[in-house]
Structure 1
Amino acid sequence: MSQPPGQPRLSPQFCFSFGTLRDFLRLSRSSIDDSITQNLNALVTPARTGFDPSSTSKRTPRSFAEPIDSEACQSFKEKVLFPSWKARAEVLSYCGIVATSPDPDDPEATILELEKQRDRERIVDERLDPYSGRFFPREARTQSLALLMRQERAVENIVRSRTWDVIQGRCGTSSPSWQDAMSNWEAAQKLSKGDGNPTSS
């Protein structure tokens, strides 16, 4: 069974390294979600009775989508799938915050400021030059990151929905939506770590 990449060390530098950020998300999705059928096939327990020679005399169509033991399914979700989703959610959440925060370390901050200054000093006369009113400032890296986060969140929702549909079909359960299942798992994780806040009577 595929193993997702380890949780990266979260920092603004990681978020602004768009290639590294995309690579983490892509590798995590490809090792778990994109290969969900192979991962689930690996959970199918081989027959315990051994090989029956008489089985070769009959033709029985074999289902390629064998149902999987419910305990194996649950274990896969709790130990592999949900932790992988949580790791990606933490990256998307953290980098989303970075994208909306001040960025004093932007190496292009001075250039951006100069461009804005030049724009303020420009003489715009669209009668003489119809293009003089046009100004296409360079994007700050926080803006580029915010756009990337919107795109990646949309991709993440599609990927999770598709993965959950496959799991529902193979595990033969009518569990809640992936959002509810994930929330229930996270709540159970908090309780098991003693982070829950039970109400006192």
Structure 2
Amino acid sequence: MSRTPDPPKLTPQFCFNHTALRDFLRVSRGAIDDTISQNLNALVTPGDRPFDPSSTTERQPRPIGRRRIDAQACGEFKDKVLFPSWQVRSDVLNYCAGVATSPDPDDPDHMLREVEDERARERVVNERLDPYSGRYFPRDTRTEALAALVRNERVVEGIIRARTWGLVGERCDNEGVEMERAVDEWRRGQRGQ
């Protein structure tokens, strides 16, 4: 079974390093969600049914559904691997969202943006001679860029979790439990420990 990567040390520098943030999320998703079929297959005990020699006398059609996994193995997988990895990624995205909404006094591009803004205000615009001369697109601040990245990663996270939960539901009997409810129940159980 895959091992989830260790959670990063949460600092504003980690969040502003978009490469490090994306890499952590990519590796975490790759370890669990992208390989969910392999992880679920690893839960199946291959020799739990003895070999039946009569099974080779007739051609067997392919099974329509996938083989179900033992409920206890599924529960342990969800409680010890799947939900903790989702929680770590949620914690990282929530922390970075908080950094993105906080003031950023250490923004290294602050002065450069102010200079560009001043030049844009001083520029003489004659749209009759150049219809594009009035265009000015100010740079995003570090916090605005981080907020956009967190928004995008949350959308990706939602899509990946829905796909993973669907596959888990096929192999483990989830009894129609919605993903959010299952995660909330797991969180409540974690707080009680």
Report the TM-score, using the length of structure 2 for normalisation. 0.91
Query: What is the identity, as a one-letter code, of the residue corresponding to 2:174?
Result: T
Matched, 1:86 2:100: no
The corresponding residue for 1:10 is 10
The corresponding residue for 1:154 is 155
Kindly state the Cα deviation for residue 55 of structure 1 after the two structures are TM-superposed. Answer: 4.3
Distance across 1 between alignment mates of 2:169 and 2:27: 23
RMSD: 1.8
Distance across 1 between alignment mates of 2:79 and 2:48: 26
After superposition, residues 106-125 of structure 1 pair within 5 angstroms as: 106-125=107-126
Distance across 1 between alignment mates of 2:126 and 2:26: 48
Gaps of 5+ in 2: none
The corresponding residue for 1:167 is 168
Kindly state the Cα deviation for residue 100 of structure 1 after the two structures are TM-superposed. Answer: 1.4
Query: What is the identity, as a one-letter code, of the residue corresponding to 2:100?
Result: A
The corresponding residue for 2:133 is 132
Deviates more, 1:89-98 or 1:53-62: 53-62
After superposition, residues 1-150 of structure 1 pair within 5 angstroms as: 1-48=1-48, 50-53=50-53, 55-61=55-61, 63=63, 65-150=66-151
Distance across 2 between alignment mates of 1:39 and 1:62: 22
From the superposition, tell whether residues 91 and 55 of structure 1 become closer, same or farther in structure 2 (CA, over 3 Å).
same
Percent identity reads 56
Structure 1 residues 118-140: Cα deviation after superposition (integer angstroms, max 9, x where no partner): 22333334345433321111221
Distance across 1 between alignment mates of 2:32 and 2:78: 11
Distance across 1 between alignment mates of 2:49 and 2:170: 26
Structure 1 residues 22-73: Cα deviation after superposition (integer angstroms, max 9, x where no partner): 1111111111011101000000013246545554444444647210000000
Query: What is the identity, as a one-letter code, of the residue corresponding to 2:34?
Result: D
Query: What is the identity, as a one-letter code, of the residue corresponding to 2:136?
Result: F
Tell whether the 8 Å contact from 1:175 to 1:181 is kept in structure 2 after alignment.
no
Distance across 2 between alignment mates of 1:86 and 1:38: 21
The count of aligned residue pairs is 192
Give the 3-state SS of the residue equivalent to 2:146 in structure 1.
helix
Gaps of 5+ in 1: 193-201
Distance across 1 between alignment mates of 2:61 and 2:44: 17
Report the TM-score, using the length of structure 1 for normalisation. 0.87
Give the 3-state SS of the residue equivalent to 1:131 in structure 2.
coil
Give the 3-state SS of the residue equivalent to 1:156 in structure 2.
helix
Deviates more, 1:128-137 or 1:146-155: 128-137
Query: What is the identity, as a one-letter code, of the residue corresponding to 1:42?
Result: A
Which of 1 and 2 has higher RCO (CA within 8 Å, sep 6+)? 2
